[in-house]
Amino acid sequence: MATGPSRTRDQEAGTPRPRSPRAVARQALGRLPKSRAARVFVLVALVDAFGRGFFLAGSTLFYTQVIGLGVGQVGLGLSIAGLCGVACALPIGRLADRIGDGPTLIALQLWRAAAFLIYPFVHDFRLFVLVACLVGAVEQAVGPIIQSVAGATAEEGSPVESMALIAVVRNAAYALSAVIATAVIAMASSGTYVGFVLANALAFLVTAALLTRLRLPRRSPRRSGHADPGGGRLLPFRNPRFLLLSLANGILYLHLSILSVGFPLWIVTRTHAPRGLVGVVLMLNTVLAVALQVRLSKGGDDLGRAGRKQRAAGASLALFCVLTAATASLDGVAAGALLVLAAIPLTLGELWQSAGGWGISYGLSPESERTYYLSAYQLGATGLTVAGPALLSLAVVGEGAAGWLGLGALFALTGLAVPLLSRLGAPAGR
């Protein structure tokens, strides 16, 4: 029987044969961490983000159509809840250093599950604010603990690359759950939105159960006589360079508010591009983030390279601002093409910012007080996240092209400052 000629030609030309789904799955599994603890935590991140993404996709509909709140009430209640999170982040971070990240994260997941189980019984604004504050009180504390656990489960590997893998898993889960939730919203009645809340609560309960299987290495106790530059409980806040690095990270972290508020608002109100471009940009951002996060995070454990990654983030975000400013006077087709192009440096800036921020915060955090330091470092990003929507709406989008150019200059200068600050900001003895 003759051999099919097409296969021979493909092999001679070096064209790879299509792989079976099983082979693709094996390759994906091969990229997972080797340690059992790291694999468990990847699963925790997947389940947590899937439930969270499912809720976020329908949260506004739940608040307005099930609870019956106005848009202004939703915004006010969530802002109050966000302030509760800022106030509670540092005490919870210090608690995690004392009793362990694992037990603390289990308690926070159970707390969040309980709060979300109360949500279906909320039918007025005052009770909404109360429950939102119960949720918000722990929201800002979870991120630093996740980062600390990701570093602890990296073992001999790279803490930054371990965190990058967690980010990839979470982004993929968010995207998948958002697609499913969108389909459900299109077919379901308002009563079904309660299911989004219950799905999120269930995800928190499942992750709490999974975390009981997580065995983290014990941290080295703080040596008596170890000299900390700040001294005492407020030591991160007595180190000006640490605070400046936190602020710089927060400025670069404005990419989050740009993607969710500033860029869509600009596309819809200040350009002739089609409104559907907002969804295209979000999809492109997700795909690039999943594909490139781990690759662009390599080498981020070195404090100097982490600083240079944030410098690259500043330059990339500045380029995004210049490209976006140029769309103000273009026709619909040209503006649309340039906005899609601008989404690429926006995403690259996001990835370099996160990798550099992880590396800097790991490098400046003493092991015995890691979660507390990570929580303090995160305050810069948290503060700019709270202020970001108003800042972008009024001072950037409201000012047109000049607003974007001013923001781009801020990004570029911030990125240039970070490498210098990171070289000078390492604690004594590190």
199-248 per-position pLDDT tens digit? 999 999 999 999 999 888 766 655 544 444 444 466 788 889 999 999 99
* pLDDT for the residue numbered 245: 96
Distance from C-alpha of 100 to C-alpha of 16, rounded to nearest angstrom: 48
* pLDDT for the residue numbered 156: 65
Contacts 24+ apart (CB under 8 A), 65-69: 65/190, 65/193, 66/120, 66/190, 66/191, 66/193, 66/194, 67/122, 67/123, 67/124, 67/128, 68/123, 69/125, 69/128
Residue 19 in this model has a pLDDT that exceeds 60: no
Instruction: For each of the domains in the chain, give its residue range(s) and CATH number, in order of start.
Output: 34-211 (1.20.1250.20), 235-424 (1.20.1250.20)
* pLDDT for the residue numbered 233: 61
Residue 38's φ and ψ, nearest 5 degrees, are -65, -40
Token pair, residue 351, equals 């990835």
* pLDDT for the residue numbered 4: 45
Q: Are 368 and 353 in contact (CB under 8 A)?
A: no
Label residue 184 by pLDDT band (50, 70, 90).
Answer: confident
* pLDDT for the residue numbered 252: 98
Distance from C-alpha of 1 to C-alpha of 160, rounded to nearest angstrom: 55
Residue 52 in this model has a pLDDT that exceeds 70: yes
At 116-129, the pLDDT tens digits run 999 999 999 999 99
Please enumerate in sequence order all residues whose Cβ is within 8 A of that of 176, keeping only pairs 6 or more positions apart, or say none.
Answer: 50, 53
* pLDDT for the residue numbered 316: 98
Q: Give SS3 for 33.
A: coil
Closest to 288 (Cα-Cα) out of 385, 173, 171, 415: 171
Distance from C-alpha of 264 to C-alpha of 388, rounded to nearest angstrom: 14
Q: Are 82 and 388 in contact (CB under 8 A)?
A: no
At 397-415, the pLDDT tens digits run 999 999 999 999 999 999 9
Residue 270: which H helix or E strand, with range? helix 263-270
Closest to 143 (Cα-Cα) out of 211, 103, 85: 85
Residue 58 in this model has a pLDDT that exceeds 90: no
**Can you tell me the mean pLDDT for 36-44?**
92
At 99-117, the pLDDT tens digits run 999 999 999 999 999 999 9
Residue given tokens 């993404």 in the structure block: 53
Residue 360 in this model has a pLDDT that exceeds 70: yes
Rounded to 5°, the CA angle 337-339-342 comes to 115
Distances (CA, A) of 208 to 48, 98, 199, 313: 10, 19, 14, 35
What rounded mean pLDDT belongs to the chain? Answer: 87
Distance from C-alpha of 218 to C-alpha of 224, rounded to nearest angstrom: 18
